Amino acid sequence: MNEKLKEYEDKMQKTVDHLASEFKTIRAGRANPHVLDNIKVDYYGTPTPIAQVGNLSIPEARLMQIQPWDKSMLKEIEKAIQASDLGINPTNDGTMIRLVFPELTEERRKELVKDIRKKGEADKVAVRNIRRDGNDAFKKLTKSDVSEDEVEELQEELQKLTDKYIKKIDEMVDEKSKDILTV
């Protein structure tokens, strides 16, 4: 592959990877430790992910337990989860925090699917912006020692890459939407 195209493909791949990590944090009615990825607690003055201050376990499909290594962190973790947009109320028994994931209502499922589509659309726009930047850079090459045919070829290849990544994003959105809508 052309070195000039590689840079833009890497950027498009990073966009797709970003979307995949965003989708991990969306809860689908089952306990999933990734829903806590974006929630940070104040650990001795440092914002720290919950997974780094305690042990996460999933004893049942819709139950997650967080057992902090330092018992003084219980209140901090509880507050951070309540302040997040997770929509789950933690229960603290003095040694661990339990999160019970309720079944998603039909309305909530549809909201989540809308949110998934919105995130997918935003990442498709990002991929198209990368294509535009690439095309602009390739057009500037014609002023140097690259022929117009070569520039056209680069632009065609970039369009193929764009189509490939847009399709990948659409597939990811469809798959996650099905996952959410499946009861």
* CATH number for the domain that contains residue 93: 3.30.1360.40
- Distance, in Å, from the CA atom of 154 to the CA atom of 137, rounded to the nearest integer, reads 10
Give the end of a domain, one of 100, 133, 157: 100
Number of folded domains in the chain? Answer: 2
pLDDT digits (tens, 9 = 90+) for 63-78: 888 888 888 888 888 8
At 29 the pLDDT is 67
CATH number of the structural domain spanning residue 167: 1.10.132.20
Same domain, 136 and 94: no
Residues 92 and 125 in one domain: no
Structural domain harbouring 148: 3-24+105-181
77 with 124, same domain: the answer is no
Same domain, 110 and 144: yes
The answer to whether 24 and 37 are in contact (CB under 8 A) is: yes
What's the pLDDT at 179?
Answer: 82
Q: Tell whether 41 and 61 lie within a shared domain.
A: yes
* Cα(107)–Cα(96) distance, integer angstroms: 31
Amino acid at 24: K
Query: Do 53 and 80 lie in a common domain?
Result: yes
The answer to whether the beta carbons of residues 41 and 50 sit under 8 Å apart is yes
Q: Are residues 96 and 134 in the same domain?
A: no
Per-residue pLDDT, 144: 72
Same domain, residue pair 153 and 140: yes
CB atoms within 10 A of CB 41: 22
Please report the pLDDT score of residue 85 as a whole number: 73
115 and 71 in one domain? no
Shared-domain flag, residues 13 and 69: no
Give the pLDDT score at 103: 79
Parts of the chain with a pLDDT under 70 = 1, 27-29, 183
Do 71 and 117 sit in the same domain of this protein?
Answer: no
User: Is the four-CA dihedral 154, 156, 158, 160 of positive or negative sign?
Assistant: negative
- The vertex-103 CA angle with 98 and 109, nearest 5°, equals 125
**165 in Cβ contact with 16 (< 8 Å):** yes
Same domain, 39 and 16: no
* Residue where a domain terminates, one of 75, 100, 125: 100
Q: How far is CA 135 from CA 65, 78, 86, 101, 159, in A?
A: 50, 49, 40, 46, 9
Cβ contacts of 136 within 8 Å, gap of 6 or more: none
**pTM (two decimals):** 0.70
Domain end among 60, 79, 100: 100
